[in-house]
Amino acid sequence: MFSALEVDDGPLTVHDLQRLRQAPRRLVLSACESGVMSPVGTSELLGFAAAMLSLGTVGIVCSVVPVNDEATVPLMVELHAGLEQHDELGPAMLRARRAAHGDPALTATAASFLAIGT
């Protein structure tokens, strides 16, 4: 889907994604603070996740704080395993959190991610 965009001029931005004919149905954003949204005025949020939802994405997994890179890897592997079994985002994230139980770094990292939408 992204190959139709010319993004060789720098980082992929929301402006680039607005040129898509259709937004991705779901996104998993494993980077630090990928779900941080800032209020603008009284009824609008600004941020990558908010922009994607407004473009039609129905579900996003994202973090709202800095995360441990090493602990994110097994968490994302577990999350994707749940998604491959046709789980929705919420149950897949719960599965990943349960798998992290017992390891403080994995548990804290798992708690840093939210499932928004389906």
DSSP string, 81-105: HHHHTT--HHHHHHHHHHHHTT-HH
**Residuewise pLDDT in 10s, the chain (118 residues):** 444 444 566 777 777 777 888 888 999 999 888 888 888 888 777 788 888 888 899 999 999 999 999 999 999 999 999 999 988 999 999 999 999 999 999 999 999 999 998 8
Return the domain boundaries, the chain: 2-117
> What is the rounded distance in angstroms from the CA atom of residue 49 to the CA atom of residue 52?
5
Q: Look up tokens 């090493």; give the residue.
A: 70
Residues 6+ apart with CB under 8 A from 1: 20, 24
> What is the rounded distance in angstroms from the CA atom of residue 98 to the CA atom of residue 86?
18
